[in-house]
Structure 1
Amino acid sequence: MALRGRAWLDRFQAGCAALATRIRGARLPESGWRRGAVLFLGGATAVAVTLVLAVVYHVRFDGDNLPDHEAFSRFELPSVGRIYDANGRPLIEMAEQYRHLTPYEGIPPIVRSALLAAEDKNFFTHSGVDYTAFARVVCKLRVRTLLGRLTKLGWRNAANSAAIFPQGGSTITQQVVRGYFLKKVTDEENSDQLRHRQIPARALSAVIGARTVNMMFRKLEEIRLSLWIERTMEARFGSKRRAKEEILARYASLVYMGHGQYGLARAAEYYFGKPLSTFTMEDADKAALLAGTTKSARTYAPDSQPTERVSYRRDQILGLMVARAYLTPEQADRARKRPIVTVAPVKAKTIVVSAVVESVLDELKVLRADLDENDLQQGRVQVYTTVDARVQEISNEALEHGLLQYERRHPASSGLIQGSVVVLRNSDGAILAETGGRQFYKGRRSAYSDFNRVTKSLRQPGSAMKSLVYLAAFRSGRFDLETMVPDEPISVPNGEGQEPKRISNYDGQFKGMIPLRLALAESRNTVAIWIAGQIGMNSILETSQKLGIRTPLRSYVTTALGASEVNLRELSNAYRTIASGIVSQPRMIRKIVLDSGEEMPEVGRGPHPAGIDGRALSLIQEGLRSAVRIPSGTAHALESYGLPFAVMGKTGTTNEFRDALFVGSTYGVEGITVAVRIGFDDNRSMGQAETGGRVALPVVREILLGVYREKLVGPAPRFPGEMEQRISTYLSDGESGPDQVATGPDHTASEEHPQAP
């Protein structure tokens, strides 16, 4: 058809050229001016007809530069991407346009009727363009504006750039084409900058203005694409009726309905608090309001205080529905009498999941290189995570409470101190909660583009590193918890030409020969350095890798005191491995569902045994449990607070009290691990005596209490009875010695703050 149309147009243009040649060659006598005028008018008419036919050919037959229709045909409109928690609860919606995709069958008959009455009564009969509407549009031409433009030819001001052609007259198909295929063109047309550089466009611009020319050319393309998409959809779906139904469904899902809502389904829930699918004949008033909003959401959206224009538009559409026999006059009268009642938008309590979103996006890139944030925002992907929204909320609140307690001691730091939390499931490293910072910081609410202090912040772990040192010692076979070790002055190299660095304990005391159990519980720095010298740093670094530490640690001996930097997720995972004996990298995504319905399976992420002998694991578990139960232990505050279940853990405080940490675990594969770090982003000191036991431990305690009180992860597992009995025997025998320093909830007994040479 296109080839035949082009051949016909070529023949017509050749005839017009011959006519123009005759006109140019004609020798007119002075008395033949009338004949010349006729020839001139004839030539002008021929040119005009040629232009009209060229336009008709372009609109009806030109198949060049057509857009890709596949996504449209598959109903792939931008939708809402969601990140779900472990229980299928949406944690966050991500979208550029918030809409629900509604198939034709999901549009109730009363809503279809209202749409057709308001927007396109001949929708199911025309071929994409309703030519009967052209006369109505011509009658609405702004003739005065056109005449004013002609009298001020060449001027450019607000008056002469006003639009000459009225709005309206577009079919539903044209509106769909405008909103889907020509959105950018439509957004750019309302300006005095001409968007088309062809000679006819520039000539017309001088007469009727660039804005009007932009609109004319866009309208021509809109008509061309409307005819094309109707033919394309009919070929794809097998009949004109089915094609029309599919186009109407896309219109109902695409149209903007105000307040950031797209599509009738979102609008029905937003304005009326009910699903679109539940609309019946008794909802004719609401259907008319929705149909009215499609014309102009700014003018006709049924807000909480609807204007007279909203009521007028509703009643007008109800009248049109009667005229089209969609409603009886009685039904329309009842609908008009109903007051316009909208629901107040319900703002569901939101949980801050900024760090979760950031981690999901990072993990998504690793799992599927072809998927990114844009796919979520377009609704092409739904992500299901291991995060439990209830655990996340408990973690968020606990961190805020801990920061508030610190701020009460240091009012000048209010709003500046920062923190992070991660909660892991022991059995497989699943992340149950991740908080990358406080909920409000520097005057604004946290966002997923913010710095995630769980994964992005590399900071010293302080004495929390000592657990890895002691585990390496137990792996060597040369030590157990009853081994006597020296708590005595010791020095370490401090760089070439420097005096050796003297290592001291937090309390400034040395206790001589003490059981290794006590040295671990009280976090004696001198003992950790001595053990590192006995077993070698390579042994400690190897053990760290077996526990899941991926960040390279320096081989300095002060790494035994936490001088090398790690992120909080790595540190928590090491403790999780200690608690369970299972190696698994922390993970957050458990399932990805594409918009096609395809589910992406997990690959190669199964947990496996740590490869650490059971004796060594049992000894470090008992040692960390002792740190809680021994009165002088740095984690004894957990026992002092009366925690109703058994926990093991270790504090960490870095050089000059810059960071305070605590990592606590319940026992075995059935337990969980919670890690907290608190400090300033600029690495300033938090102040004297602001240790891990004082600042971070209360946050861990609140999280553990909340999670187990709400029974979110099952009952807290017990430690082996023989392990608890050995600790009880140690306590009853008085092996801690008479000169031990008792430790209350707000301080630790003996934490050094390491610094690398």
Structure 2
Amino acid sequence: MALLAATALAGLLMASALFPVAGLAGHLLTRTADAMADSSRSLSSGDAPQVSTILDAAGEPIAWLYEQRRHPVPPEEISAPMKDAIVAIEDRRFWEHSGVDWQGTARAALANLTAGAVRQGASTIEQQFVKNHALLVEARTDAERRQAVATDYGRKLREIRIAQDLDETMTKDEVLTGYLNLVPFGNGAFGVEAAARTYFGIGAAELDLAQAALLAGMVQQSSGLDPYANPDGALARRTAVLDAMVDVGVADPAAAAAAKDAPLGILPEPARLPQGCIAAGDRGFFCDYVVDWLGRHGVDAQRLARGGYTVRTTLDPGVQDAARAALTAQADPAAPGVAEVLNVVEPGADSRRVLAMASSRDYGLDAGAAQTVQPQPWAMLGNGAGSIHKIFAATAAIERGMGTEAKMAVPRRYEASGLGEGGAEDCPPGKYCVENSGEYRPQMSLTEALAHSPNTAFVMLAEQVGVPAVVDAAVRLGMRYYAEPGSFDGDASVADYVSDNTLGSFVLGPTPASDLELANVGATLASDGRWCEPSPVESIVDRAGAEVPLDTVPCEDAVEPGVARAMARALSRDTVEGTAKEAAAAAGWSGDMAAKTGTTESHQSAAFLGFTRGLSAATYVYNDSTTTAGLCTSPLRQCGDGDLYGGKEPARTWFAAIGPVIDRFGGPGLPEMDPRYKGNTAEVPDVIGRTEGDARRILEEAGFRVTSRWAAGTGKPRGRVTGIANRDSVLEGGLVDLEISDGSRPRPRPKPPERDRRDDRGRAPNFIDVPGLGRVPLPG
């Protein structure tokens, strides 16, 4: 009777497996046949989570990203004792049944019906494969994980159905390999290869009888049979596995006996693989950037942590090491409230490789040791890059016809109209006022002004071309964040805010900046005006070795090649006669390069941008605390008012980092510029003698902006144009300052006073000049 009952029950379970809709009442399958077919295909495809590896440009690992530490291997890379051990202890009829052991299933089903619940599983390796796949691969939520291990007939029938499908689509060796590559072995090891490395420091192909028996025994309860936490339990389970292997004839009794007497033989502690960017050391900031960049280009962090990708990056280990050494030499990693970052990018017309990315801060989670995981080298932060923004005004001016040798007025103070309000003290309403820090010649060429950096000259230049044009040049050259919502205030972007020509201070660089974007500005100019997005990824391949497509941003022409070369040459005097002269000389730098220093008025941040034909790099020092203290130099620190300038630590760091590696990238040097860019090229229509209205119309139709001022004593009719006050500096599309006659006549020039005439002996003359009579002798 018992045999008949078992046979009938087995038939019922068979019917339920084959026809899930007609399964046991109240325990219908929770998935459709199509869904189960998908699960079967997923099992056979081997899509279990794997480790993704991030490599530097030399092929050395930077970091490993994973949810489950798994290293799948083919059947031939798993030792025979390992395969025999797992079959002997988990499913000794594995090689005979067709995915389901109906004899065992019937026995378990009878026991479960008697108990009124699922108490026994009688699971085959195929069924365990299905269950573990549902738990470790398919389940993404806690509810799905609970359902994957639920003790009900619905789950059991689903396992049976998919197990049978597997037996039809995969060979037994493929099933066994897939199972061994999937299951957990404790201590963060998933799959037999990770387990072999974790406990023995070898590959799965090298596992001997004792080692294989230990691992096979742990599958039943990986945490409870942890050989580090429970060595006695692990030894007892290993013995049970060895006995099972002898019983089924896959282990020689003598060899099994010797294995039982052997010690556990495990490593002193589990050999784990570092997980995530936190273990990447001074490459951690770059590692985070790789993950962020990939997330923005089609491979999100979760996909990366599960996909088993190999990411080859652009990080040059030599450049990175030089950058980090230079930073820590100039900025103490533990200094309170001050950090320095550096990025190095390689110019190119079709790509923009990030060669190094570093901070003076140590990458880590110990805030007490001044460590941080904040994206310092590539985020928008600090008080701004200061006068480096003058590059953008100069670029906009050259695009509009200004020559690199064109003369610029350099007044001590300037009060600009239409650029907002405020600035220097005692500024009249409706004006933006600026003063120079230091004494300058009253007139400089554009090249000289970029080297010496007077503020008034560049605010005047921003007034000439318009602040929107300055911001537009910044965005095109590389400061792309300034076009993003929220880059200025609330939801507004910097570009939106200056649409009405306000924010005259933008040219002086008071807005937060990204050091990576600053470095890319130099790379754009060094690439004949070609902008490319900074990329940390050389290639990414999936677990099968196939290239993974990415949603990359195409390169684009930011400025004309002639403009870019002119700008590079206009920036070439800073290290020779300008604000970076001392730093360059101290570093022994020789050869052409383009450079610009920058310092904010508050001295809370300072920067240095320098580039050659083959490299562009930017350094940025900023107050990384919540205080508003200024920064001081030598040593770099927080202080009162501050005395840090871009020509100090920022420039010193640049030369210390780039000097040792520059020869690998073509050495110093800049492309030659077209001589036509030396002089002004703008042509202003002749409007002298016209009425102010006619002159405005003609000039505005020609693309110029117009302002005017009254001119007295010209003798011309009132309202007529008598001249252009800024004729020598008018640019294409720029501001034309008209002089308009007020109708008054010229005042007569006063007669110069008569010079006191004395003879050779110093005596007064003996005559006087009388109007109408001429010279009249004096009496006596």
TM-score (normalizing by structure 1): 0.69
Which residue in 2 is equivalent to 1:434?
A: 357
Structure 2 CA distance for aligned equivalents of residues 185 and 549 of structure 1: 39
Structure 2 CA distance for aligned equivalents of residues 72 and 124 of structure 1: 19
Matched position secondary structure for 2:602: helix
Alpha carbons of structure 1 residues 266 and 380: separation in structure 2 relative to 1, 3 Å = closer
Which residue in 2 is equivalent to 1:689?
A: 643
Structure 2 CA distance for aligned equivalents of residues 76 and 445 of structure 1: 41
- Is this contact kept in 1: 2:357–2:377, CA < 8 A? no
Alpha carbons of structure 1 residues 227 and 51: separation in structure 2 relative to 1, 3 Å = closer
What amino acid sits opposite 1:174 in the alignment?
Answer: Q
Which residue in 1 is equivalent to 2:20?
A: 62
Structure 2 CA distance for aligned equivalents of residues 518 and 394 of structure 1: 31
Structure 2 CA distance for aligned equivalents of residues 236 and 635 of structure 1: 73
Matched position secondary structure for 2:173: helix
C-alpha distance after superposition, 1:265-305 (max 9, x if no partner): 111112222222344xxx222222221222222233444x8
- Is this contact kept in 2: 1:626–1:633, CA < 8 A? no
Structure 1 CA distance for aligned equivalents of residues 141 and 88 of structure 2: 25
133, 137, 144: which one aligns with 1:180: 133
Matched position secondary structure for 1:327: coil
Which residue in 2 is equivalent to 1:292?
A: 217
1:495 equivalent to 2:439? Answer no
30, 53, 69: which one aligns with 1:82: 53
State the Cα distance separating 1:579 from its structure 2 match: 2.7
Which residue in 1 is equivalent to 2:537?
A: 589
What amino acid sits opposite 2:163 in the alignment?
Answer: E
State the Cα distance separating 1:566 from its structure 2 match: 4.5
1:629 equivalent to 2:629? Answer no
Task: State the Cα RMSD in Å.
Answer: 4.4
1:680 equivalent to 2:628? Answer no
Matched position secondary structure for 2:281: coil
Which residue in 2 is equivalent to 1:326?
A: 250
| Larger relative helix fraction | 1
Matched position secondary structure for 2:654: helix
233, 239, 264: which one aligns with 2:192: 264
State the Cα distance separating 1:596 from its structure 2 match: 5.5
Alpha carbons of structure 1 residues 267 and 132: separation in structure 2 relative to 1, 3 Å = same
Matched position secondary structure for 2:596: strand
Structure 1 CA distance for aligned equivalents of residues 153 and 10 of structure 2: 12
C-alpha distance after superposition, 1:117-159 (max 9, x if no partner): 2222111112334455579979999x9xx9xxx9xxxxxxxxx
Structure 2 CA distance for aligned equivalents of residues 594 and 186 of structure 1: 25
Alpha carbons of structure 1 residues 478 and 104: separation in structure 2 relative to 1, 3 Å = closer
State the Cα distance separating 1:601 from its structure 2 match: 5.0
C-alpha distance after superposition, 1:534-570 (max 9, x if no partner): 4544553454344234324433432221245553333
Structure 2 CA distance for aligned equivalents of residues 703 and 433 of structure 1: 10
398, 403, 424: which one aligns with 1:479: 403
State the Cα distance separating 1:80 from its structure 2 match: 2.1
509, 521, 528: which one aligns with 1:562: 509
Matched position secondary structure for 1:299: coil
102, 117, 124: which one aligns with 1:171: 124
216, 237, 240: which one aligns with 1:316: 240
Alpha carbons of structure 1 residues 135 and 47: separation in structure 2 relative to 1, 3 Å = closer
Structure 1 CA distance for aligned equivalents of residues 590 and 290 of structure 2: 34
Matched position secondary structure for 1:404: coil
What amino acid sits opposite 1:226 in the alignment?
Answer: E
Structure 1 CA distance for aligned equivalents of residues 262 and 414 of structure 2: 87
Structure 1 CA distance for aligned equivalents of residues 657 and 105 of structure 2: 68
Which residue in 1 is equivalent to 2:751?
A: none
Structure 2 CA distance for aligned equivalents of residues 532 and 86 of structure 1: 42
State the Cα distance separating 1:425 from its structure 2 match: 0.8
C-alpha distance after superposition, 1:233-265 (max 9, x if no partner): 23334xxxx1x2222122111111112110101
1:422 equivalent to 2:343? Answer yes
- Superposed, which structure 2 residues align to 1:692-707 within 5 Å? 692-705=646-659, 707=661
Structure 2 CA distance for aligned equivalents of residues 306 and 364 of structure 1: 42
547, 555, 560: which one aligns with 1:612: 560
- Is this contact kept in 2: 1:562–1:654, CA < 8 A? yes
Which residue in 1 is equivalent to 2:202?
A: 274
State the Cα distance separating 1:653 from its structure 2 match: 1.6
Structure 1 CA distance for aligned equivalents of residues 63 and 42 of structure 2: 25
Gaps (5+ residues) in structure 2?
Answer: 22-28, 423-427, 484-494, 632-641, 675-780
Matched position secondary structure for 2:332: helix
State the Cα distance separating 1:364 from its structure 2 match: 3.6
Alpha carbons of structure 1 residues 60 and 476: separation in structure 2 relative to 1, 3 Å = closer
516, 519, 527: which one aligns with 1:572: 519
State the Cα distance separating 1:514 from its structure 2 match: 4.3
- Is this contact kept in 1: 2:343–2:618, CA < 8 A? yes
585, 602, 607: which one aligns with 1:639: 585
1:252 equivalent to 2:252? Answer no
361, 373, 376: which one aligns with 2:301: 373
State the Cα distance separating 1:468 from its structure 2 match: 2.5
Alpha carbons of structure 1 residues 383 and 683: separation in structure 2 relative to 1, 3 Å = farther
Structure 1 CA distance for aligned equivalents of residues 140 and 434 of structure 2: 71
Structure 2 CA distance for aligned equivalents of residues 49 and 601 of structure 1: 54
77, 89, 97: which one aligns with 1:118: 89
667, 686, 689: which one aligns with 1:716: 667
Q: Which moved more, 1:481-490 or 1:267-276?
A: 481-490
C-alpha distance after superposition, 1:380-422 (max 9, x if no partner): 6544433335544554555455441782xxxxxx2x4345432
Alpha carbons of structure 1 residues 346 and 95: separation in structure 2 relative to 1, 3 Å = closer
Gaps (5+ residues) in structure 1?
Answer: 1-45, 151-162, 196-213, 408-413, 724-757
What amino acid sits opposite 2:164 in the alignment?
Answer: R
State the Cα distance separating 1:323 from its structure 2 match: 3.1
State the Cα distance separating 1:453 from its structure 2 match: 5.6
Which residue in 1 is equivalent to 2:459?
A: 529
What amino acid sits opposite 1:273 in the alignment?
Answer: G
What amino acid sits opposite 2:582 in the alignment?
Answer: H
C-alpha distance after superposition, 1:655-693 (max 9, x if no partner): 31222222222x11x223334343326472333113333
Q: Which moved more, 1:447-456 or 1:223-232?
A: 447-456
State the Cα distance separating 1:699 from its structure 2 match: 3.4
Alpha carbons of structure 1 residues 231 and 679: separation in structure 2 relative to 1, 3 Å = same
What amino acid sits opposite 1:181 in the alignment?
Answer: A
- Is this contact kept in 2: 1:129–1:226, CA < 8 A? no
- Is this contact kept in 1: 2:362–2:371, CA < 8 A? no
Alpha carbons of structure 1 residues 139 and 186: separation in structure 2 relative to 1, 3 Å = farther
1:505 equivalent to 2:466? Answer no
What amino acid sits opposite 2:534 in the alignment?
Answer: P
Structure 1 CA distance for aligned equivalents of residues 329 and 159 of structure 2: 59
TM-score (normalizing by structure 2): 0.67
Alpha carbons of structure 1 residues 364 and 89: separation in structure 2 relative to 1, 3 Å = same
- What percentage of aligned pairs have identical amino acids? 24
Structure 1 CA distance for aligned equivalents of residues 89 and 319 of structure 2: 49
State the Cα distance separating 1:99 from its structure 2 match: 0.7
Structure 1 CA distance for aligned equivalents of residues 227 and 369 of structure 2: 30
Q: Which moved more, 1:117-126 or 1:539-548?
A: 539-548
